[in-house]
Amino acid sequence: MIKLMKNGKNQHSGRYIAVEGIDGAGKTTIISFIKKYLENKGLDVLLVQEPTDDDIGKLIRRRKKITRDDRNDQLISSLDEITEARIDALLFAADRLQLHYKIVKPSLDSGKIVLSDRSIYSSFAYQTCQGADLKWVEKVNNFALKPHVVVLLDCPVDIALGRLKNSDYREKFENHELLSCVREQYLYLSKKDNNWIIINAEESINDVEKEIASILDNFISPP
């Protein structure tokens, strides 16, 4: 089991924790809780997100956004779905690589805990469900770092979409068919490695936070 050392110190480097889940699973709330919880335990935590707020990340956000006037489950594009998926995968990979070498890797080298809202696994789930081949998506992300620990907030699609219905805008990935595929892909990916923690995000926020706190305590080494 990977241990998180107090004060962000360990024999080699920091630790990279990613929180994953379909849109509407509650990542924003839970990531904030995890950050505060680890900091209260004496850990030095840096929060990052994908896509970033850098130039490539901003381009991705513009491509993802659907306004209130476009709230249908199909995004009209002049390109076929597989081409769109490949473009998205390449943009996410470029944004991720820049993030990792500018911020994540130096922070890990200094002994910090890097807590990330999404990671390489988001591309493995979302872009493959868009139509891109998983092996190809893995290849274009070959130089990106993989998290030491992945916290998957698993949530039924109907509940997740219900949480999103009152937002000012939606993203093109927020439709039932795609998110159903993404959820299944996440569960498939979680079986390939033993560093995944699956949380039932259908439960109340208090229950989810209690479960995560209990799990995190097992990762924290004494001073």
Class of domain 13-217: alpha beta
Cα–Cα distance, 161 to 71 (Å, whole number): 12
Please report the sign of the dihedral spanned by the C-alpha atoms of residue 197, residue 203, residue 206, residue 207.
Answer: negative
pTM of the model: 0.88
Q: What is the pLDDT of residue 11?
A: 42
Q: What is the pLDDT of residue 7?
A: 52
**Cβ distance 211 to 108 under 8 Å?**
no
Q: What is the pLDDT of residue 74?
A: 46
- Residues in the chain where the model's pLDDT stays below 70: 1-3, 5-12, 66-78, 166-170, 221-223
Helices of type H across 41-174: 55-64, 81-99, 105-109, 120-130, 134-140, 157-164
Cα–Cα distance, 101 to 83 (Å, whole number): 27
Burial 17-37 (b: 16+ CB within 10 A, else e): bbbbbbbbbbbeebbebbbeb
- Provide the residue ranges of all domains of the chain, joining segments of one domain with +: 13-217
What are 90-106's pLDDT values in tens digits? 999 999 999 999 999 99
